[in-house]
């Protein structure tokens, strides 16, 4: 495991019962340092009961003492053989109750802006079920008229790195299957920072395609050809023998 179970509750306990720095707690619990400071100020995790990592076999007192003596000492999670492979659990991720009402908006955003993602990928990203995704794809959800698409990263349902990895995997699979990728899909194969730094490709409007090779000299040549007149065609008039015969008679 990369972080302790009940990470935020563990952070609350460490802030209340030790002199470990905010950065040490943030690194150990996989939180932002400002979030840990908010816990200390009482602005974050209000009402959350501290979770003792020593009593729950996640830290030792010796490890905490070493971290208190040296601010540069990183806390190390206690080895637990029973926890091996726990991070490989498959299936949809757990979504807190407070954020479950935001899942339809996140699903609708993914369906609209990333149609290349499969139902399974969306299910893992936001922790939902395939019937729910299908109802939003087909716009048969009972509350579809009131749902507005919202970025799941902004809602805190997934991380930007996880979304980028899922999109890249979907586009690579499409490319292997022989699908034709658009310019936007090619940009999704690189990281977000690289994509934002790429220049826009110039495009020729389809209405004037084929005219890009027509030069001014060609236009002048066409005008000269049209202005050239044949003198013989002006003076070589048809004979009027019938008119002459009528005058003599």
| 104-125 residue pLDDT tens | 999 999 999 999 999 999 988 9
Per the confidence metrics, is the pTM higher than 0.75?
Answer: no
- Domain segments of the chain: what residues? 7-87, 97-187
Task: Specify whether the CB–CB gap between 152 and 126 falls below 8 A.
Answer: yes
Below-70 pLDDT ranges, the chain:
1-2, 79-98, 178-249
């Amino acid at each position: 495991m990369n972080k302790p179970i009940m990470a935020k509750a563990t952070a609350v306990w460490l802030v209340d019962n030790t002199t470990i720095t905010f950065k040490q707690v943030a690194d150990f619990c996989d939180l932002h340092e400002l979030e840990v400071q908010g816990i200390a100020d009482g602005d974050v995790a209000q009402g959350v009961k501290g979770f003792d990592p020593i009593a729950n076999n996640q830290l030792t007192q010796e490890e905490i003492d070493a971290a208190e003596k040296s601010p540069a000492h990183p806390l190390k999670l206690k080895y637990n053989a029973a926890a091996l492979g726990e991070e490989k659990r498959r299936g949809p991720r757990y979504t807190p109750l407070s954020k479950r009402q935001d899942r339809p908006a996140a699903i609708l955003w993914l369906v609209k802006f990333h149609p290349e993602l499969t139902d399974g990928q969306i299910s893992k990203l936001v922790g939902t079920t395939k019937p729910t995704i299908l109802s939003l794809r087909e716009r048969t959800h009972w509350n579809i008229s009131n749902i507005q698409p919202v970025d799941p990263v902004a809602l805190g349902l997934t991380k930007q790195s996880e979304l980028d990895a899922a999109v890249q995997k979907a586009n690579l699979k499409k490319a292997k299957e022989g699908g034709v990728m658009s310019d936007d899909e090619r940009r999704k194969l690189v990281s977000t920072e690289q994509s934002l730094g790429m220049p826009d490709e110039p495009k020729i409007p389809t209405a004037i395609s084929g005219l890009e090779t027509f030069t001014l000299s060609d236009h002048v040549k066409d005008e000269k050809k049209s202005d050239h007149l044949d003198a013989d065609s002006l003076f070589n008039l048809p004979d009027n023998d019938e008119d002459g015969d009528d005058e003599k008679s």
